[in-house]
Structure 1
């Protein structure tokens, strides 16, 4: 009797054990982000903020994704307070294909908008001014996503970004996740674009 119950429990748990190793393309995540600009003249400025993003599998090998990040920095220049804000919404679609039991090939395209705002204030006798600018660009990347172990994931993507005010530039993304269980995990990612590097770290819930 005990042996029969043990075999039944083992068979019931088998589908879950197999699905636990699969890469999920439906998730939501959020956390902190930092944008760094490699510019010696400006003393390598950086801005801190937060981000949210998500992905939803609409077919066996296709997913849609989107997100928004915002970072800001305040500083004083000759007694005048200047606050910079950089916001970036994006929306895209991705494709993935199994290369092995633990590795997927990935491809995605996305449209993103870069919003930049500078608020100038703090000068006696000056009411202040807000300067805004934006640009829209497209991004396409190819990469791989895999599971080095049962509790970890890693991904690497490379491609190009091009827009109305952005010449075609290389973009690279390196990221990883450490999972606590089937749903929750900690994620970290680095995105490199010319002289701009964006670091992100947060919590992801996969479904």
Structure 2
């Protein structure tokens, strides 16, 4: 009888440890969607000034593991805002703004320990800003292509909580040699579902997002 009880307890303990290990597993294959807010500092000259952009909307992002070390990343971020063009502090016109940014990149991870990975990502960014003044039928669009290198770490803070931090450098059309950084958290409810939060900032650029993630 004692042997049977011992075996039962051992099996239950093994199952609990297995579930805990599963909760700690860091997946590089996932799909995520949620709310995003992006603030951009608008360029100014001596005569005219455009309000800083504070676009809010939604995003869809994901990652696909290609093996034990390599993975793909992709994302689409969209938001809307209303900005004013001013001269000497006087408002000349208001424009509806549609902001969109697409991201596609390749990532590499290296395990530093059982709980911590070092990551490196090289990405291409396509940024589009579309301004419209409906009463005057005015439309203006700005497109920019940029390259971004991001280096950081991703690890387990608790059995059901992940965190990451990274430094990045972006250069091209929309970003002019900008250094920045970001942090994030993922609270996992089970092996598949979780809630994530991201915060990233650079010179004149800030992005915050909260979403639901499904890991596979």
Structure 1 length normalisation: TM-score?
0.88
Residue 42 of structure 1 deviates from its aligned partner by: 5.5
State the aligned residue count: 203
> Which one of the candidate residues 178, 203, 206 is aligned to 1:197?
206
Give the structure 1 partner of residue 67 of structure 2.
Answer: 59
* Mapped partners of 1:129, 1:7: distance in 2: 72
Residue 45 of structure 1 deviates from its aligned partner by: 4.0
Q: Which runs of 4+ in 1 moved over 2 A?
A: 1-20, 37-45, 74-81, 164-167
Unaligned runs of at least 5 residues, structure 1: none
Give the structure 2 partner of residue 48 of structure 1.
Answer: 56
Deviations 1:148-195 (A, max 9, x none): 111211111102111145321102111111122222111111111210
* Mapped partners of 2:178, 2:84: distance in 1: 32
CA 169–105 in structure 1, closer or farther in 2 if over 3 Å, else same: same
Deviations 1:62-118 (A, max 9, x none): 111101001111357768552111100111111111112211111110001001101
CA-atom RMSD in angstroms:
2.2
- Answer whether contact 2:58 2:77 (CA < 8 A) is retained: yes
- Answer whether contact 1:80 1:121 (CA < 8 A) is retained: no
Q: Is structure 2 residue 163 aligned with structure 1 residue 160?
A: no
Give the structure 2 partner of residue 138 of structure 1.
Answer: 147
Q: Is structure 2 residue 122 aligned with structure 1 residue 109?
A: yes
* Mapped partners of 2:83, 2:122: distance in 1: 36
3-state SS of 2:64 partner: strand
> Which one of the candidate residues 9, 19, 22 is aligned to 1:19?
22
Unaligned runs of at least 5 residues, structure 2: 86-90
- Answer whether contact 1:33 1:200 (CA < 8 A) is retained: yes
Residue 144 of structure 1 deviates from its aligned partner by: 0.6
